[in-house]
Amino acid sequence: MKIAVLGSRGIPNRYGGFEEMAAQTAPFWVKAGHEVVVYTISDHPEKISELDGVKIRHIFNPERRLGLAGQFVYDLLCILDARRKNFDIILQLGYTTSGIWSFLWPKHKTVTNMDGLEHQRAKYAGLLSLFLKWSERRAAKRSKLLIADNPEIANYLNKFPTPIRTIAYGSVVVKEEKQAKELLANNHLPTENFHLHIGRIQPDNHVFEILDAAAATGETLITVGDYTTRYGRKLKATFPEPNIIYAGTIYDKNILNALRTRAIFYLHGHSVGGTNPALLEAMGSGAMVLAHENPFNASVLGGLGALWKDEEALALLLTQRPASEIRSEQARLSRERIQEHFNWEDVAKNYLLAFNSIK
């Protein structure tokens, strides 16, 4: 098969979830004997034409000049280019800025990963939410097959007549390395007795509740994310407590893994996505997770960690210190769950089965 991957900023991954998925699954498809092209922004920091056998197609990206409008242009150019190629499968990752061009998608060979419930995100209120609902309907109508990364997302998508397959997102298992403590110290970060939060700084990720719980308890919290946004600056001004460490954005996986493996609790506030990559990465590192109570997080955790509804419930959990035996068993079970249910090889195989089902 000739497979095109659209809808991400491309590979190597320097950005987020869809990019990581492309970076992890596409090489497996190449090893299985398929030709794979991942569409990538022209201003990607790494200008390479191939990675692990995967061809990289750079497409002009005007986002720096046009802002959000530039993403729409980039998606249009990717779709127009892919239409001119003889691909057997076009995998469309998301529809937030590409759904408007769905009338150009070749329906008989388009598979769309529908991501989370984008229209419910606080940052997309009002007219943007209405647009995303429309875009969601268009994407569902113009696709041969829909991919849900979580059973709850699949249940939501059942309202559309288009066939659905549930294929989880993936992650890797990470063990704590001996130099983790030294690595954190060298980067001026706490090495023990801290909690950790990693995520986008937006209301539907319940960052306010996480910071509020840390402020109320005095527990040390390291929060990793971009607080330079308007909302981020507001949160920093609201919670200036010295026990809250605003670490900014960190992309170094070694540092992130060191934080995850040494944290007392990993705090996860995402609420409108499906299977969230940050949650899987925390579980793969053996972290004990305290997650916002919703069906998506509950289905991923499978009974591990604990769930909270509000800042009061989270504050109560933060003050607890599970025995080392319980922590060790939770870490073992978390890594085992990632290996059994969320490993990248199985994810890649399931995508190939989905592709073959519509050929």
Q: Per residue in 174-216, pLDDT tens? A: 998 889 999 999 999 999 999 999 998 989 899 999 999 999 9
Superfamily of domain 2-170+343-358: Glycogen Phosphorylase B; (3.40.50.2000)
Question: What's the chain's average pLDDT?
Answer: 93
Mean pLDDT of 55-60: 98
> In the prediction, which pLDDT does 124 show?
60
Provide the token pair at 269: 């506030």
Q: What is this structure's pTM? A: 0.88
> In the prediction, which pLDDT does 213 show?
98
Query: Which candidate, 59, 79, 81, places its Cα nearest to that of 142?
Result: 79
pLDDT at 165 exceeding the cut of 70: yes
> In the prediction, which pLDDT does 129 show?
78
**Is the Cβ–Cβ distance between 7 and 93 less than 8 Å?**
yes
Residues of the chain with CATH 3.40.50.2000: 2-170+343-358, 180-341
Indicate the CATH number of 180-341 among 2.60.40.10, 3.40.50.2000, 2.40.50.140, 3.40.630.30.
3.40.50.2000
Query: Which candidate, 41, 7, 78, 22, places its Cα nearest to that of 277?
Result: 22
